[in-house]
């Protein structure tokens, strides 16, 4: 509808004229190799002006053909289109309520370390890292209610963000890295700043673990006794070695 106005003899008139319009739609002109979908798991309830988490069941596919949403295809659906497949490679899960909760993730290993087409997934939950069966994604990430028919309650855990990667990009990385590794453990160069952070975190973990190991205390005492032997039964000059031993024993990190 469009407004038009006319004026004659000091009077103005407004007329509504019908016009044809196209419905606006969203489509892709160019699609990168990685797609990230943010699910609406939190909303503001206008009835009582409060925030709440959406626990509804939402099923997402393991693969998506994006070609159906390309602008070229939507401009002329009669033309043949080439499949543009994306595979699910990561799921970020939120457990809890809108007021408090916890995040963890399921990640598909890429490239596959075995060099086969079998998918391997890993669960990352803070410092806890272990294998994950992708067959459990439906139960652990779709949301909805528990299977107990006598006491159906919303699942506190559900997918919050989805990560898809173009299948051709996954295959290219698989060929490049597995071939270059020649059966050895796959390694990717790490930036120095990230390497320093990882080394520091690993050192902290070892120190925390060793502080509660009685064998570690015994080992440090043996080092101290050995240092006195090397110094012919006396302490080192300025007690430097003793201070290093005590520091290594008690300090959580350097």
User: Using one digit for the tens of pLDDT, what is the confidence trace for 16-74?
Assistant: 777 776 666 778 888 899 999 999 999 988 888 888 899 999 999 999 999 888 888 88
Average of per-residue pLDDT across 4-24? 63
Identify the structural domains of the chain with CATH numbers, from first to last: 25-188 (3.90.70.10), 190-254 (no CATH)
Q: H-helix or E-strand containing 2? A: strand 2-8
pLDDT(115) > 60: no
When the pLDDT of each residue in the chain is averaged and rounded to a whole number, the result is 82
* Cβ neighbours for 179, distance < 8 A, ≥ 6 positions apart: none
DSSP at 66: G
DSSP at 117: S
3-state DSSP assignment of residue 194: helix
The pLDDT score that the predictor gives to residue 59 is 95
Task: Give the CB-side neighbour count of residue 217, counting CA atoms within 13 A.
Answer: 5
pLDDT-based confidence at residue 254 (cuts at 50, 70, 90): very low
Q: Helices marked H in the chain — which ranges?
A: 71-75, 137-141, 167-181, 192-211, 214-230, 240-250
The pLDDT score that the predictor gives to residue 133 is 94
Taking the C-alpha atoms of residue 194 and residue 34, their distance in angstroms, rounded to an integer, is 23
The pLDDT score that the predictor gives to residue 90 is 97
pLDDT(190) > 80: yes
Neighbours of 119 (CB within 10 A): 14
DSSP at 45: E
Average of per-residue pLDDT across 193-213? 85
Q: 127-164: per-residue pLDDT in tens?
A: 899 999 999 999 999 999 887 667 778 899 999 999 99
Task: For residue 88, give the nearest of 55, 110, 73, 114 by alpha carbon.
Answer: 110
Taking the C-alpha atoms of residue 104 and residue 87, their distance in angstroms, rounded to an integer, is 20
């Amino acid at each position: 509808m469009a407004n038009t106005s006319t004026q004659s003899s000091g009077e103005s008139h407004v007329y509504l004229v019908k016009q044809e319009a196209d419905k606006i739609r969203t489509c892709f002109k160019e699609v990168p190799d990685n797609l990230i979908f943010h699910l609406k798991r939190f909303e503001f309830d206008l009835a009582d002006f409060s925030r709440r988490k959406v626990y509804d069941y939402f099923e997402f596919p393991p693969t998506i053909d994006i070609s159906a949403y390309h602008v070229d295809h939507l401009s002329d659906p009669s033309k043949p289109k080439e499949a543009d497949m994306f595979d699910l490679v990561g799921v970020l899960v939120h457990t809890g309520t809108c007021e408090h909760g916890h995040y963890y993730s399921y990640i598909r290993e890429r490239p596959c370390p075995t060099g086969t087409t079998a998918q391997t997934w890993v669960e990352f939950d803070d410092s806890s890292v272990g294998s994950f069966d992708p067959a459990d994604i439906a139960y652990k990430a779709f949301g909805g209610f528990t299977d107990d028919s006598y006491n159906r309650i919303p699942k506190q855990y559900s997918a919050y963000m989805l990560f898809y990667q173009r299948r051709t990009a996954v295959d290219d990385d698989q060929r490049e890295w597995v071939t270059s590794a020649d059966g050895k453990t796959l390694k990717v160069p790490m930036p120095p700043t990230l390497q320093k952070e990882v080394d520091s975190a690993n050192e902290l973990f070892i120190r925390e673990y060793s502080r509660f190991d009685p064998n570690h205390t015994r080992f440090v005492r043996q080092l101290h006794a050995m240092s006195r032997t090397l110094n012919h039964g006396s302490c080192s000059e300025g007690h430097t070695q003793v201070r290093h031993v005590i520091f290594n024993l008690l300090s959580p990190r350097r």
